[in-house]
Chains A and B, each alone.
Chain A
Amino acid sequence: MSGHDHDHHHGHDHGHDHGHDHGHDHGPFQPDIEDRPLTHYQAMTEAVADLLVAKGIVTPAELRKMLEIIDSKSPAAGSKMVARAWTDPGFKQRMLEDVIAAAAELDIDAGGIPIKAIENTEGVHNVVVCTLCSCYPRLLIGLPPDWYKARAYRSRVIREPRAVLKEFGTEIPDDVELRVHDSTADLRYLIIPARPKGTEGWSAEKLEALVTRDTMIGVAVPQP
């Protein structure tokens, strides 16, 4: 699989606009793939999309709209919710009770799959995995990073969470309970990281910048 370079992107229609900022770093530079044949699975993807359109099962507009929605989802929505929870105890309570309704208060569409917010406290640090596949709160923090879906993380974080967190530069003291959530079913998990000391009086924008994707998965803690 190849990372692609947006600036060099050209040729056939992929059905969405590349002109906007995706809000995350691009992968390492890869040579233009356009002059190589499609892989078997790329051709399959194009063929399935074409056939679904030809049969009237999806319209080109629906496909394009969905691609735009996928591109529009990023950790920013989750960061905004967490920063609000840090400064508004009532909101935090509502978020702990019903993430989707709390998201709607901030005009964030969290979709229809139930999401559970779990709060890190002085006594408990939480981290999320899906050992069976790759369940992840995509509507609040975007598509998952590669490592979240890969064998090493899925196999190890449930059994040796402290060692795995250490690989991410995160040390949890022994007097804090480390709790791993295996998201195996109909729930998605979003961690509300603990607000760092010394951030009193910070603006919402400044607080949101502390709430990275990895802090909402639980492999990192906010770094002021």
Chain B
Amino acid sequence: MHRRHHDMGGLPAGPVEQAEHDYAPWEKKVDAIMRLLTDKQRKIMTVDELRRGIEEMGPGIYDELTYYERWIGSVTNTLIEKGVLTVDELGRAMEEAQARHAEAAKAVCP
């Protein structure tokens, strides 16, 4: 019987860790991107595709990544598969984002 790792109802686990973190701006941005991509106006992807992408990451990655890391990973793969984004565009845009971030940090943290 094949049980997938995200399907965890009833498995043994430790106590519920009740500490909570405040969502960081980038995490909310992931949420916002997902809501816009799935809205009635765009319908570029579905929440079902998001879930499938997360489930297909495999057990190691699923547990290693944080919640919104799983989300943006799945969203990005889906957008590549659909031809909305290319891998090359992503590589360049990630480089630019990193450079912009470094500049901004330099400007305000003497």
Interface residues of A (CB under 8 A from B): 1-4, 9-12, 14-16, 22, 24-28, 32, 34-35, 37-39, 41-52, 55, 57-58, 62-63, 66-67, 70-71, 112, 129, 131-134, 143, 145-147, 149-159, 164, 167-168, 182
B32 within 8 Å of A by Cβ? yes
Q: With A14-B25, A27-B20 in contact, is A45–B66 under 8 Å at CB?
A: no
* Residues of B in contact with A, size category: 35 or more
For B22, what are the chain A residues with a Cβ–Cβ distance below 8 Å? Answer: 3-4, 22, 24-27
Q: Which residue of A lies closest to B31 (CB)?
A: A70
Chain A interface, DSSP helix/strand/loop, else mixed: loop
CB distance from B71 to the nearest CB of A (A): 9
Q: Is the CB of A3 within 8 A of B21?
A: yes
Q: Is the CB of B28 within 8 A of A48?
A: no
Q: Is the CB of A50 within 8 A of B6?
A: no
Per the 8 Å Cβ criterion, residues 67-110 of B in contact with A are 67-69, 72-73, 75-76, 79, 84-85, 89-90, 93-94, 96-98, 100-102, 104-105, 107-109
Q: How far is the CA of A143 from the CA of B102 in the complex (A)?
A: 30
Q: With A3-B22, A37-B101, A45-B72 in contact, is A50–B9 under 8 Å at CB?
A: no
- 7 chain-A/chain-B pairs, Cβ below 8 angstroms: A32-B109, A38-B98, A41-B66, A146-B21, A146-B67, A152-B13, A157-B16
B42 within 8 Å of A by Cβ? yes
Q: How far is the CA of A145 from the CA of B97 in the complex (A)?
A: 29
Tell which of A3, A37, A47, A67 touches B28, judged by Cβ atoms closer than 8 Å: A67
Q: How far is the CA of A35 from the CA of B51 in the complex (A)?
A: 33
Q: Is the CB of A152 within 8 A of B17?
A: yes
Q: Is the CB of A155 within 8 A of B32?
A: no
